[in-house]
Chains A and B, each alone.
Chain A
Amino acid sequence: MAAADDFAAVLRRKGLIAPVPALGSNASTTAIVAAQTHATTVLAFKFKGGVLVAGDRRATAGNTVVYDRADKVLEIDRHSIMAIAGVPATAWEMARVLEHSFQFFRRTQLQEMSVDGKVRALSKLLRDNFGFVMQGIGIVVPIFATYDATSDPAARLYFYDAMGAQFEVTDYAATGSGSPVVRGILYYENHWGKKPLLQLDEHEAVTVALRALDTAAESDTATGGVDRDAKIFPVIKIVSAAGITTLADRQIAALFKRSVAS
């Protein structure tokens, strides 16, 4: 019975989250899907010290900026981060389900869930959500960064599509409306920059991330850059063998002043 249930199944059995909607009930919704925005920019890349995950702070509804301190880089457990682009309500709920799923698994099964299991769990949540996406609500396109501490210790990075396909990347990933620009920058840095992303130290990596977000904010209205008056900086987190480190605002501010704002 309960031993076989994952946590999402427990929640559905108890009616605590929405049931999985049927797919294909309305074929004419594809136009709406195309129009759905996932207005934001989050990016992640591997560097010498692990994986860096960064996201801007702006939340929008259509043309309106509704919130300028949104946190789109969410800690799921001691070694995993989910960075979200898409509808916040769905995305945050997914992050909560995921966080509880990993703990529920550890507590019931008396062992940590494998990295593959965790990656797959997010994939399944996206897949279950696809009916809502087809109805024109609740699209989420996340990035998942984690550190595999077990057999072959390594930082691992994945991006997903809205249907739940997962893609492991070797270098970098970006999602959201500002991501084409960011992907361009990261590709350029990785191939023709001073050194490949994997060889950057923490200072250099944060600089690249801040510059990429600044560039995205330049042309994408849905991406908030750095608000110097209100001192609102992007959220930057680093996943490594030691766990997750969140960079303090003053650290980012200093680097921003030195390497970006000049």
Chain B
Amino acid sequence: MIEEPYRWVEAVANRREYIETQLAPGSAIAAVSCAEGILLAAVGRTRQKLFEIYDRIAMGAIGHPGDIERLRMAAIELASTEGFTRSAADVSLRRLAYYSLSPVLKGAFEQVYGAPYLARLLFAEVGNTAEEDLFLRVEYDGAIATNGGVLGTARQAFGALSGTHASTELMETFLQREHDRRSTLPRAVDVAVNAWTIGSLALGEAGIRELPDKAAIADHRRKQLAGNVIEAVLLERDAKLSVRYRSLTDEELQPVTSS
């Protein structure tokens, strides 16, 4: 029985394999810093994948809708009560993820008699400058990956999330090479949709493991956009606004959808 330590390790390993299998088809989400703020983009047809959490925080999620909903509600409730009792300036993504969400996810994951959360989350928090933008990927077991910025290292200007680790890593490789945080919004939308395309190509057993050439990206992207829609939101950098979250308009997406 799993009272024995090695059985517990085995049970957790099984559970990890089960969750990874469940999440593997999850379609990618790309987030990039740009001059206007942070752009989050996904391509799909069915359900909403990008959500507003608080004034400067947005979330993208893949996984089971019920679990995503529970985590989304928890995040909004925590941020809102903090913002109400103190101030909006005291709501921080770092604290939200490390002190509140991560322990809950780890707890659920390791309680092998209970159900784990079948979800992966990507959070973005817009800063006053692009150098201060924060991206956090929170895994179903409570593990957190950031875009750096600790101990004096430079932060990356992007965050990526996909169904498999291989897909996520290839998206990051692509964004590392192609994206510049000084881009303006139209360029950021283009790069984000390309990153999504890389993520999509890398999914599955037969998925690519090396970055494809430009023509292959453009080809796959065109095919995907034909049957799907782009979901894109911007966390605006404009400090005059208190609520920074807004959806991109059709006009703003037009250059990408018509390409």
Contact = CB atoms under 8 A, between A and B. Distances in A.
Contacts of A103: 80, 243
A11 B52 contact: no
Contact of B84 (A96, A106, A110): A96
Interface in B230-259: 243
Interface size range on A against B:
10 to 19
Interface size range on B against A:
10 to 19
Contact of B53 (A10, A11, A107, A110): A107
Interface in B22-50: 48
A33 to B, nearest CB: 29
B81 A10 contact: yes
Contacts, number: 37
A103 B91 CA distance: 15
B77 interface: yes
A104 B73 contact: no
A107 B54 CA distance: 8
B109 to A, nearest CB: 21
A157 to B, nearest CB: 24
Q: Majority SS of interface residues in chain A?
A: helix
Contacts of B69: 3
B48 to A, nearest CB: 7
A257 interface: no
A108 B48 contact: no
Given A103-B243, A106-B52, A3 B80 contact: no
B85 interface: yes
A16 B53 contact: no
A118 interface: no
A16 B81 contact: yes
A3 B84 contact: no
Contacts of A211: none
A100 B85 CA distance: 11
A106 B48 CA distance: 15
B128 to A, nearest CB: 21
Contact of A11 (B48, B74, B81, B243): B81
Contacts of A100: 80, 83-84
A108 B73 contact: yes
B76 interface: yes
A110 B80 contact: no
B76 A16 contact: no
B81 A2 contact: no
A241 B84 CA distance: 28
Nearest to A14: B81
B80 A7 contact: yes
Contacts of A11: 81, 84
B84 A16 contact: yes
Interface in A92-107: 96-97, 100, 103-104, 106-107
Contacts of A7: 80, 84
A166 B84 CA distance: 26
Contact of A2 (B48, B54, B77, B85): B77
Interface string A1-39: 111000100110010100000000000000000000000
Interface of A: 1-3, 7, 10-11, 14, 16, 96-97, 100, 103-104, 106-108, 110
23 contacts: A2-B73, A2-B74, A2-B77, A3-B69, A3-B73, A7-B80, A10-B80, A10-B81, A16-B81, A97-B84, A100-B84, A103-B243, A104-B76, A104-B80, A106-B52, A107-B51, A107-B52, A107-B54, A107-B76, A108-B73, A108-B76, A110-B48, A110-B51
